Structure 1
Amino acid sequence: MNLVESLRAHRLLAIVRGKDPAAALRTVRTLAEEGIAAIEVSLTTADALTVIKQARTELGPGALLGAGTVRSAADATRAIDAGASYLVTPALVDGLESCGIPVLMGALTPSEIEIAIARGAVAIKLFPGALGGPGYLRALRDPFPEVPFVPVGGVDAQAARDYLDRGAVAVGVGSPLVGDAADGGDLDQLRARAVTFREVAAGETP
Structure 2
Amino acid sequence: MSKFETLKSIRKAGVVAVVRGNSEENSYRTAKACIEGGVTAIELAFTSPNADVTIKRLNEEYAGNNDVVIGAGTVLDEATARMAIVSGARFVVSPSFNENTAKECNLYAVPYMPGCFSPTEIQSALTYGADVVKIFPGSIAGKGIISEIHGPFPYVNVMPSGGVSLGNMHEWFASGAYVVGVGGGLVGPAKNDDYKAVLHNAQAFHNEFQSIIYANSAVTRKVPVKA
**Pairwise TM-score range, normalised by the shorter structure:** over 0.9
Does 2:81 correspond to 1:76?
yes
Q: Deviations over 1:160-182 (max 9, x none)?
A: 2111111101100011101131x
Does 2:91 correspond to 1:86?
yes
Partner of residue 201, structure 1: 209
Moved >3 Å (runs of 4+): none
Query: Aligned Cα RMSD in Å?
Result: 1.6
Distance in 2 between residues matched to 1:91 and 1:140, nearest whole Å: 17
> 3-state SS of the aligned residue for 1:143?
coil
Partner of residue 40, structure 2: 37
Q: Contact between 2:10 and 2:69, CA under 8 Å: does it hold in 1?
A: no
Q: Contact between 1:7 and 1:169, CA under 8 Å: does it hold in 2?
A: no
Per-residue deviation, 1:110: 1.0
Partner of residue 55, structure 1: 58
State percent identity of aligned pairs.
Answer: 32
- Quick check: 27-36 or 73-82, which moved more? 27-36
- Which amino acid in the other structure matches residue 77 of structure 1? R
Q: Output the TM-score relative to the length of structure 1.
A: 0.92
1:144-159 paired onto structure 2 within 5 Å: 144-159=153-168
Q: Contact between 1:14 and 1:174, CA under 8 Å: does it hold in 2?
A: yes
Distance in 1 between residues matched to 2:84 and 2:122, nearest whole Å: 24
Q: Pick from 131, 137, 149 the counterpart of residue 128 of structure 1.
A: 137
Partner of residue 26, structure 2: 23
Per-residue deviation, 1:184: 4.6
- Which amino acid in the other structure matches residue 56 of structure 1? N
Bigger Rg, which one: 2
Distance in 1 between residues matched to 2:130 and 2:69, nearest whole Å: 17
Does 2:106 correspond to 1:103?
no
Q: What is the aligned residue count?
A: 204
Distance in 2 between residues matched to 1:158 and 1:112, nearest whole Å: 29
Contiguous gaps of at least 5 residues in structure 1? none
- Which amino acid in the other structure matches residue 70 of structure 2? L
Distance in 2 between residues matched to 1:54 and 1:21, nearest whole Å: 10
Per-residue deviation, 1:43: 0.4
The 1:99–1:43 alpha-carbon spacing in structure 2 relative to 1, beyond 3 Å, is farther
Contiguous gaps of at least 5 residues in structure 2? 216-227
Distance in 1 between residues matched to 2:107 and 2:73, nearest whole Å: 15
> 3-state SS of the aligned residue for 2:60?
helix
